[in-house]
């Protein structure tokens, strides 16, 4: 059982909203300008979810957005590490 859909994001990590969408054929889009944020808190959702062939735990992140200076609670499924976004944009 995987602990989370995004089990590699922790307090203090630099993150951004996932900014890509690729279909089964490799077609899609990617945002070239994303807002970065710092994870301030990780909140575990007290329910297991079934995702295709596995059970996962879901989390919400409390994130401080650096561009706007705002704090927001976001579900883990739409957040990724900024380093992953950076890697994809440089491919």
Q: What is the DSSP letter of 11?
A: T
The domain containing residue 82 runs over which residues? 14-89
Taking the C-alpha atoms of residue 48 and residue 57, their distance in angstroms, rounded to an integer, is 5
- Confirm whether 2 is domain-assigned: no
Contact residues for 84 (Cβ-Cβ < 8 A; gap 6+): none
- Confirm whether 79 is domain-assigned: yes
Distances (CA, A) of 14 to 25, 39, 83: 30, 7, 8
For residue 19, the model assigns a pLDDT of: 67
- Confirm whether 3 is domain-assigned: no
Please count the structural domains in the chain: 1
Can you list the alpha helix ranges (DSSP code H) found in the chain? 82-89
For residue 34, the model assigns a pLDDT of: 79
Q: What is the DSSP letter of 45?
A: E
Q: Render pLDDT for 5-57 as a digit per residue (tens, 0 to 9).
A: 456 889 999 999 876 666 666 666 666 677 899 999 999 877 766 667 777 67
- Confirm whether 50 is domain-assigned: yes
Taking the C-alpha atoms of residue 29 and residue 37, their distance in angstroms, rounded to an integer, is 21
- Confirm whether 1 is domain-assigned: no
- Confirm whether 5 is domain-assigned: no
For residue 1, the model assigns a pLDDT of: 34
Nearest residue to 37 (alpha-carbon basis) of 11, 57, 4: 11
């Amino acid at each position: 059982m995987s602990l989370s859909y995004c089990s590699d994001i922790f307090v203090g990590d630099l993150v951004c909203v996932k900014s890509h969408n690729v279909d089964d054929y490799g077609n899609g889009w990617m945002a070239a300008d994303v807002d970065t944020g710092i994870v301030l808190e990780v909140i575990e959702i007290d329910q297991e979810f079934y995702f295709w062939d596995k059970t996962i735990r879901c989390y919400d992140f409390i994130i401080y957005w650096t561009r706007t200076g705002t704090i927001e609670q976001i579900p883990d499924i739409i957040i990724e590490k900024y380093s992953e976004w950076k890697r994809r944009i440089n491919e």
